[in-house]
Each structure stands twice: as structure tokens, then as C-alpha cells.
Amino acid sequence: MEVILIVVSALFGSAIGSFLNVCIDRLPAGKSLLYPPSHCDTCQHPLSPKDLIPVFSYLWLRRRCRYCQASIPRRPFWVEVGSGLLFAFAYWQYGLSADFAVIAFYGCLFIVLGVIDLEHRLILNKIVYPAAVVALIISILRPPPGIIDVSLPWPLLGMVNGVIGGAIGFVFLLIPFLISRPFYSQGGMGEGDIKMAGLIGLIIGSRLVLVALLMGVILGGLVAGALLLLKIKKRKEAIPFGPFLSLATITTLLWGNGILNWYLGLF
Ligand SMILES: [Zn+2]
């Protein structure tokens, strides 16, 4: 029974992934999310329901448009697979609960932020600001794990831990940004990354914010180093940081307490 529900969660997540792809395609261009309906970017033919089955349509059609045979980009497929995995892991960790809904929602948010940064080198304020407001409201209803455990009265506890987490995240990336700015006229860390780190702290809370940010820095450093070594990227080319922050944040949302306890157990 449990396995069936994990599979159902994965299928539901990949269907949500189709909508995330629409957000990723249209938000940077300032287009409507609802209109026009999904269509082939090459021949403009509207897609029928059988073309829109998450993950499977892509495999079945062998990456080609049914109407004009133009090849379909790879990213929508991987976003659907990724959000399917996100929902499956969230269900596995949290069962059918409010936590599941919150983690899945935040995971979707960071998939959209991360992929848009990967493709456009942009972290959109029109996503970050409303997300911060939503995160503040959620922190009242479901306090994120915090370093402050004095008995603050509800609704202060969650908000205080969220806001402290946000401040830690913001400052943690602001310092290297200010230090590196005289040396790099462009590229490197941007203002968007700093705002995103603040949002991450607000969401994850003061206890785990550094777990997510350090993981993002290490992950980004390793991948950037590997790309330079393999000469896939040149030293001058900027590698966006948002995708690594996103991946690290989703990992921390799912397994952060376990990771922190493992790390603290090393000493
Ligand atoms: Zn087409």
C-alpha cells in the first residue's frame, strides 16, 4: 500500500512539474501562465491531452513534436522527473500530512527559481518577494526549526525563527558579495543570490539555514571546479549559483535534521 502511495505521489508530482515548466517558460518573459494553452514552440500547434502526459509523452514521442517533428527540449522532461521525485521523497519522509504539502510547495518554488537561474541567469524578484510573504505566513502556522527555543508565545516563535534564519542567510552571502565585488565586474555572486539566501533562511529557519547554504556553496564549488578542469567552461564564464542553492535547499527541506545530526556527531 505504501509503495502504491509513493508511486501516486510521484505521478502527481510530475503532473505538477508540467505546470512548473509553464512557469519556467513564461515568468521570465512576463507572459500569462494561463493563456495561451500549451503548444509546440516550433509549429505553434496546440498540444492535445495525450501529448501532455508528464514524463511518458516525452518518452513515447521520442523527443519529437507529433505535428512537425521538431525536437522537444530536454528540460521539461527533467523538471517533471525532478518534481516527481520531490513528491515521492516528501511523501516517504512525511506521509500524507501538512508537512508533505509545505515541503512539496517549497520544493516546487525552488525548482522554478533554480531552473530559471540556470537558463537565464536571473533570480526573479516577482517570485522571491511573494514567496517571502507566503513563507512568513507559513512560519506562523508551522514554525521552522530554530535556534531560539525560549518559550516565545504563538505566533511569535515561528516568525522570529524564520526572520532570524532569513537574516543569517542574507548576511552569509552578502559578505562574500561585498568582498568579491571590486574584483569581479560581472558574474560571480549576484544580488539575486543574496535575496534568495534570505528567502531560504526564512523558509528553513535559523537551525538549518547554514546547512543549506554551506551545501550549496560546496556543491557549486565542486561543479564549477569540475567544469573548469574538464574545460567545459572558461574561467571568465559565470556559473549561476541559484541552481546549487535550490538543490541544497530541497535536500535540506527533506533531510536537513538528519544531515545536521550526522555532522554534529562527527565531533
Ligand atoms: Zn511542432
Give yes or no for a contact between 249 and 110, defined as CB atoms under 8 angstroms apart: yes
Cα 73 to ligand 1 centroid, rounded to whole Å = 12
By the 8 A CB rule, do 18 and 80 touch?
yes
- Ligand 1 centre from 63 Cα, in Å? 11
Report the Cα–Cα distance between both ends of the chain, in Å, rounded. 40
Per-residue pLDDT of the chain (267 residues; tens, 9 = 90+): 889 999 999 999 999 999 999 999 999 999 999 989 999 989 999 999 999 899 999 999 988 999 999 998 999 999 999 999 999 999 999 999 999 999 999 999 999 999 999 999 999 999 999 999 999 999 998 888 777 666 777 778 888 889 999 999 999 999 888 887 776 655 567 899 999 999 999 999 999 999 999 999 999 999 988 988 988 877 767 789 999 999 999 999 999 989 999 998 988
* Other CB atoms within 10 Å distance of the CB of residue 194: 21
User: What's the gap in Å between 55 CA and the centre of ligand 1?
Assistant: 18
Residue among 122, 157, 152 nearest 241 (CA): 122
Quote the pLDDT of residue 222: 94
Q: How far is the CA of 157 from the centre of ligand 1 (A)?
A: 52
pLDDT at 188: 62
What is d(CA 107, CA 239) in angstroms, rounded to the nearest whole number? 22
The residues, ordered by sequence, that sit 6+ positions from 49 with a Cβ below 8 Å of its Cβ are none
**Quick one: pLDDT at residue 234?**
76
Tens digits of residue pLDDT in 214-237: 999 999 999 988 988 988 877 767
CA of 64 to the centre of ligand 1 (A): 8
Per-residue pLDDT, 146: 77
Distance of CA 65 from the midpoint of ligand 1 (Å):
5
